[in-house]
Amino acid sequence: MNLRGIGYIGLNVPDRQAWDRFAAEVVGLEPVARTAGDPDASYFTADERQWRIAVREAATAGVGFVGFEVPGEAAFDEVVTSLVEAGVALTAATPEELRERGAQAMVWFDDPEGTRLEIFWGPVVDFPFRPPVGGHRFVTDGGLGHAVLMVRDLPGALAFYKDVLGFRTSDFMNFGPDMAIHFLHCTPRHHTIALSAVGPVSGTHHIAFEVETVDQVGEAFDRATAAGLDITASLGRHKNDRMLSFYMRSPAGFEVEIGCDPVLIDEDTWVANEFTGGDSWGHHGLTSESLAESVAGQ
Ligand code: FE2
């Protein structure tokens, strides 16, 4: 299994216009027009890829789909074979879906909590990134940021992502009986997916984007406060991935984290350990209780 992180992500939001403004004017993603795109979706890019984020209107907010990329046709065939052997019910993309995704091939399936996951190869690269605000660049080595998903059945979700999809544990925190968060990687990026259980909630806590410098994080923080957004976790540095970041409430309810300076995983030397607390400093507002709150409103 050779997943290269998140290639693209689809977001469901109740108010697309509000999320589009937030994406461009606060996060600093570049809106892109795509002739092959879904007319009912907005598309954004974060680098030289034609698109990275698709936004659609839906009653329930959160991650609608995650596209994990593989490096090419051979790797794609290997993953498909491995998933079929594991008993995963795969659906091949239709020609229309392939055009819309801008991929050479794609299969999709649901994770145990019902999140649609896609495996694809051959994304379209067609223009340089031009941030609509600020002078930042997004760091997309190892994939487009990460997503933190709240799950009802943590052992079941972990078994799927690790045993079937090949993710490895970076580290984890236990909050209490049956309450924990596990950070999983498939590239040197510290985590591409984190799975957390804090009670009977299932959904998206946050998605995260990495920028290059502390100043670029600060500029995003200024844009968020100027826009009157709820800063759900103040500036701080996580103990585990060492990311310096802040979190804000997106117009869809789920949170968005902007950060920089994370540790990278060297598979040969990495030790997967347990942490007893989330942060070296800051990130006030981010607690095991707040993990559930963002999802409960979706
Ligand atoms: Fe995060």
Distance from the CA of 36 to the center of ligand 1, in angstroms?
A: 31
CA separation for the pair 49, 288 (Å, rounded):
35
Distance from the CA of 194 to the center of ligand 1, in angstroms?
A: 8
Domain definitions of the chain by residue range: 6-121, 146-296
CA separation for the pair 183, 115 (Å, rounded):
17
Distance from the CA of 259 to the center of ligand 1, in angstroms?
A: 8
Q: What is the CATH number of domain 6-121?
A: 3.10.180.10
Q: Give the pLDDT of residue 127.
A: 80
Q: Give the pLDDT of residue 80.
A: 98
Confidence class for position 123, pLDDT limits 50, 70, 90: very high
Average the pLDDT over 129-151 and give the result: 96
Distance from the CA of 201 to the center of ligand 1, in angstroms?
A: 18
Residue range 151-170, pLDDT digits in tens: 999 999 999 999 999 999 99
Distance from the CA of 206 to the center of ligand 1, in angstroms?
A: 7
Q: What is the mean pLDDT of the chain?
A: 96
CATH 3.40.50.2300, domain 146-296, yes or no: no
Residue range 63-84, pLDDT digits in tens: 999 999 999 999 999 999 999 9
What residues flank ion ligand 1 with Cβ within 5 A?
208, 257
Distance from the CA of 241 to the center of ligand 1, in angstroms?
A: 9
